Chains A and B, each alone.
Chain A
Amino acid sequence: MAVISEETIDYVSILAKLELSPEEKEQAGRDMGRLLEYIDKLAELDTGNVEPLSHVLPLENVFREDVVTNGDESSMILDNAPEQRDNMFSVPRTF
């Protein structure tokens, strides 16, 4: 059974912003290997002449008009903030 390498797991966890313990990494490598092996089943199908279908409905051109509909909702917006100051969300420094 295919096992995904630790490097790949490390790389994907950077993308996904997840921190995995050594055991979790090992488990993730096995799980992902098994799932990908299963997903590889799709390769059996010849899809050469098939366009990828992202939107299942034939919908297009859904617009809104350029009219302001929202007022100052900042108290509701900030209501759930883990940390805030001066009506802003507070995060560890980025500068």
Chain B
Amino acid sequence: MDLLSLTAVELGTAIQQGQTTAREAIEAVLKQIDKTEEILHCYISIDRKKALEEAEGVQRKIEAGELSGPLAGVPAAVKDNLCTEGMLTTCASRMLGNFVPGYSAEAVLNLKRAGAVLVGKTNMDEFAMGSTTETSAFGPTRNPRDPERVPGGSSGGSAAAVAAGECFFALGSDTGGSIRQPAAYCGVVGIKPTYGTVSRYGLVAYGSSLDQVGPLGRTVEDCAVVLEAIATHDRKDSTSLAREDTDFSSALEENVKGMRIGIPRDYFGPGLNGEVKSAVLAAAKRLAAEGAWVEEFDLGLTEYAVPAYYTIASAEASSNLERFDGVKYGYRAEGGGSLHEMYKKTRSQGFGPEVKRRIMLGSFVLSAGYYDAYYRKALRVKAMIRRAFDEAFARYDCILGPVTPDTAPRLGESLADPLKMYLGDIYTIAANLAGLPAISLPCGKNGAGLPIGLQLTGDCFQEKKLIRAAYTYEQAVKKGGQTGDEGI
């Protein structure tokens, strides 16, 4: 059996049925890592010994009947901003280059409870700030679909590892599109759940009011199953919700009959690449053919989401990253000096340029005299954006659009112009500002063979509608073959 051709759920089922073992699964993944990791650099750290031990342990439990479920024994990767007890957690920063937490993120604990086997910690943009995984202090990750291109970011390592078969699924975090955008660039599926659905405890904070942990996988089903496993109410996170509707796999049905889907005209303006546009519209057509009721509408305020987002995220980041000061953990600059010299040297040497840029911007927008004009203004715009979505969801079950304006850029193209890079987040950011769930799934390829992503955004708590629509589309493509626009 070619294990690597299986989805996470197929593998989990095969393990449950005794057709293969957790050990064979992890060995297959490690073998694939030997083949591709040197070029792709999906991971910051891999603990082979621990992974093999874990697989053995899980296998024993499965055989003893103590562990069942679709993720038991399935090799998984975790973004390196999720704390893992006893394992290096760096946030791709020199600042945490040696940090080994004594606790695990709740999402990681949930994966372990489900029996997933942790392969390693994936590469990312430093402290999740970036859209290409090039701001990592440990070097960039390359896109498995085209190694000359970036995998996207900030969860680029997670998306690339899934696409390359270096794991069966992965966890990422999404503050402004950091799960959905790399999923689109790498041709995999990613879900950013409703804010509060997955505990943020143990996720190293970037923009606390926007951050959510979510799954990346090869199929909608894999993502639904993983999200079901990690979505729990956690009393350690005051913003964690007690939801009773987290049986997301129950939404895996091929049925969009009567579903109302809105396409915001604002998303299809001049900034959008033509091939992306036609692939996304073709996907809408296919959903309509499956029985959905699709229409265009004006969402509004689209152009204000990015400036509001960068104000809020940078402000929160400037505060969240104050704790990295060389006192309690992580990097401390050599050379003595006074306390404040130590702080400044440590932080200047420990953080990379993009992180410093956002800390500076964030400190400025919160500083005396600017708080109202920038930060509070952005919170008011956030309220308006939320209201615009409320109006839209009064009419539609979900909103359909592109994930990104274009396909994956080449390495080195993006960092030169930060503002241009930020504008690339235009379609994903609003979901974070409004706390909404959104899914990114492949909807074909461009002429160069690069994956194109389709985004479905739902109202708060409506993940099931998104999963149902995405699953229906995915199955329809599988059954119906390819249309011209959707490529392969």
Contacts and interface: CB of A to CB of B under 8 A. Distances in A.
In-complex A–B contact (CB below 8 Å):
yes
B238 A62 contact: yes
A18 B355 CA distance: 11
Nearest to A13: B360
A35 B361 contact: yes
Nearest to B370: A36
Given A31-B418, A56-B209, A79-B100, A92 B338 contact: yes
Interface residues of B, number: 70
Contacts, number: 168
B361 A32 contact: yes
A68 interface: no
A11 B364 CA distance: 9
Contacts of B410: none
Interface string A37-63: 011111111010011111111010010
A17 B340 contact: yes
A64 B235 contact: yes
Nearest to B359: A16
Contact of B347 (A18, A35, A54): A18
B374 interface: yes
A91 B386 contact: no
Contacts of B382: 52-53, 56
Interface stretch (B132-140, B259-267, B304-312): B304-312
Nearest to B326: A82
A59 B461 CA distance: 14
A51 B329 CA distance: 39
Contacts of B318: 16
Nearest to A73: B102
A43 B359 contact: no
Contact of A79 (B102, B322, B347): B102
Contacts of B336: 92
A35 to B, nearest CB: 6
Interface in B281-332: 301, 303-304, 306-308, 310-311, 318, 322, 325-332
Given A38-B419, A94-B339, A32 B360 contact: yes
Given A17-B325, A53-B386, A32 B364 contact: yes
A76 B102 contact: yes
Given A12-B363, A17-B325, A52-B383, A77 B102 contact: yes
A18 B383 contact: no
B65 interface: no
Contacts of B381: 42, 45, 47, 50
B250 interface: no
B195 A83 contact: no
Interface in B145-177: none
16 contacts: A8-B364, A13-B360, A17-B322, A31-B418, A36-B361, A39-B311, A41-B304, A42-B377, A47-B384, A53-B380, A56-B382, A57-B196, A57-B460, A81-B329, A93-B338, A94-B339
Interface of A: 4, 8-9, 11-13, 15-20, 24, 28, 31-32, 34-36, 38-45, 47, 50-57, 59, 62, 64, 73, 76-77, 79-83, 89, 91-94
